[in-house]
Homo-oligomer: A and B are copies of this chain.
Amino acid sequence: MTERPTTRRRILDAARRLFNAQGYSETTISQIADAAGIAHGNVWYHFRTKTDIVDALKAELAEALAERRAIGSQGRDLADEYVTSVLVGMQHQGDYRFVLRDALQFRSDEKEIDAALAEDHRTLRRLVRRLDEEEFFRRDLPVDLEELTRSLFIVARYWSDHVQDHEGRDEITWDDQVRGLRHHLGVLRPWLTAAARRAIDDAAEGAIQRLARASPA
Known contacts being A151-B155, A161-B158, A183-B147, is A121 close to B166, with CB within 8 Å? yes
Closest to A156 in B: B154
**Would you give the shortest CB distance from A194 to chain B, in whole angstroms?**
10
- Report the copy number of this chain in the oligomer: 4
Are the CB atoms of A154 and B162 closer together than 8 Å? yes
Q: Which of B23, B113, B141, B159 contacts A105 (CB 8 A)?
A: B23
Q: Which residues of chain B come closer than 8 Å to A47, judged between CB atoms?
A: none
Main secondary structure of the interface of A (DSSP, over half): helix
Please tell me if the beta carbons of A102 and B151 are within 8 angstroms of each other in the complex: no
**A residues 141-175 in Cβ contact with B at 8 Å:** 141, 144, 147-148, 150-151, 154-155, 157-159, 161-162, 164-168
Chain B residues with CB under 8 A of A150: 183
